[in-house]
């Protein structure tokens, strides 16, 4: 039995979610998948000007480097314009929280992609996927079990309002985000430039990560959150400006 909870629990889920890598191989019900589709259709987007789409597929239509075997994957596609990687991270981190709030395990998977699958929309490129299904074992973790940088490492000021972003998942737990405070109470978000480009895909995944952190700030401040892509900002050494927001 999956735990049924309402969407108000998305915020609570920030403080207990974890990537799930051990799955029951049985698929979820058609009803559960339809409810997921409904949620995705109503998720908030960061940039209205970008077309994106998704598909829910079974194990015959996705491949991944790792050996664990989830029953489902969300394949995510987008037009390549403006902040499209951020936008996908933002939309689908809401979905990650939704799944986990319902007792369904999930994990972003950069090292994988579609298999025997024809992309229905040539204008949109495959970006990344999220695997999901009923977890085997405990779905949640304790707050003390998060392995994350301390706030002072990710911000110019110690500010507990940034805890939702601090706890966000990121590719290889890289946590490449950095927040600064503006005099008007707004925040700037920067992405740490990688010193060694071990994996050129990591640059793209880190941009998805920026959207993921913004999604946590949105979910924790749903009524007030506003994002501006091109606001005035200072250039910081070894960092890329990723936009401003108010909460």
Ligand X SMILES: Cc1cc2nc3c(=O)[nH]c(=O)nc-3n(C[C@H](O)[C@H](O)[C@H](O)COP(=O)(O)O)c2cc1C
Q: Which element (helix H / strand E) includes 55? A: strand 52-57
Residue 109 in contact with ligand X, rule: CB under 6 A? yes
- Per the CB < 8 A criterion, the answer to whether 177 and 193 are in contact is no
Question: String of b and e for 5-22 (b: at least 16 CB within 10 Å)?
Answer: eeeeebbebbebbbebbe
Closest CA to 211 of 168, 247, 157: 168
**Whole-number Å distance between alpha carbons of 94 and 114:** 22
Q: Which element (helix H / strand E) includes 140? A: none
Work out which of 205, 218, 227, 245 binds ligand X, going by CB under 6 A: 205
CB nearer to ligand X: give 66 or 121.
66
Structure tokens that stand for 201 in this block: 């895909």
Residue 220 in contact with ligand X, rule: CB under 6 A? no
Closest separation between CB of residue 150 and ligand X, Å? 16
**Whole-number Å distance between alpha carbons of 237 and 110:** 27
Residue 173 in contact with ligand X, rule: CB under 6 A? yes
Residue 172 in contact with ligand X, rule: CB under 6 A? yes
Work out which of 54, 77, 84, 108 binds ligand X, going by CB under 6 A: 108
Q: Which of residues 41-70 bind ligand X (CB under 6 A)?
A: 66
Tell me the window of 16-24, 40-48, 78-86, 194-202 that interacts with ligand X (CB under 6 A). Answer: 16-24
The distance of Cα 81 from the centroid of its chain, to the nearest Å, equals: 18
Tell me the window of 79-87, 165-173, 218-226, 233-241 that interacts with ligand X (CB under 6 A). Answer: 165-173
If one counts every other C-beta atom within 10 angstroms of the C-beta of residue 190, the result is: 23
CB nearer to ligand X: give 11 or 156.
11
Closest separation between CB of residue 236 and ligand X, Å? 23
CB nearer to ligand X: give 156 or 203.
203
Binding site for ligand X (CB under 6 A): 18-19, 21, 66, 107-111, 128, 169-173, 205, 208-209, 212
């Amino acid at each position: 039995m999956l735990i049924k909870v309402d969407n108000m629990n998305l915020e609570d889920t920030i403080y207990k979610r974890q990537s799930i890598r051990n799955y029951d191989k049985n698929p979820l019900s058609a009803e559960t998948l339809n409810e997921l589709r409904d949620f995705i259709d109503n998720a908030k987007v960061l940039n209205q000007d970008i077309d994106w789409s998704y598909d829910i597929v079974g194990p015959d239509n996705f491949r991944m480097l790792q050996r664990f075997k989830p029953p489902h994957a969300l394949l995510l596609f987008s037009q390549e314009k403006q902040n499209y990687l951020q936008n996908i991270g933002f939309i689908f981190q809401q979905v990650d929280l939704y799944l986990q709030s319902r007792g369904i395990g999930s994990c972003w998977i950069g090292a994988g992609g579609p298999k025997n699958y024809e992309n229905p929309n040539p204008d949109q490129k495959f970006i990344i996927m999220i695997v999901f299904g009923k977890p085997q074992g405990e779905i949640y973790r304790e707050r003390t079990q998060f392995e994350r940088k301390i706030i002072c490492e990710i911000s110019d000021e110690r500010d507990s309002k940034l805890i939702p972003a601090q706890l966000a998942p990121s590719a290889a737990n890289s946590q490449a985000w950095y927040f600064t405070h503006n005099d008007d109470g707004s925040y700037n978000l920067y992405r740490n430039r990688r010193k060694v480009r071990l994996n050129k895909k990591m640059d793209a995944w880190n941009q998805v990560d920026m959207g993921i952190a913004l999604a946590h700030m949105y979910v924790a401040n749903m009524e007030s959150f506003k994002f501006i892509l091109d606001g005035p900002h200072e250039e910081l050494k070894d960092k890329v400006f990723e936009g401003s927001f108010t909460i």
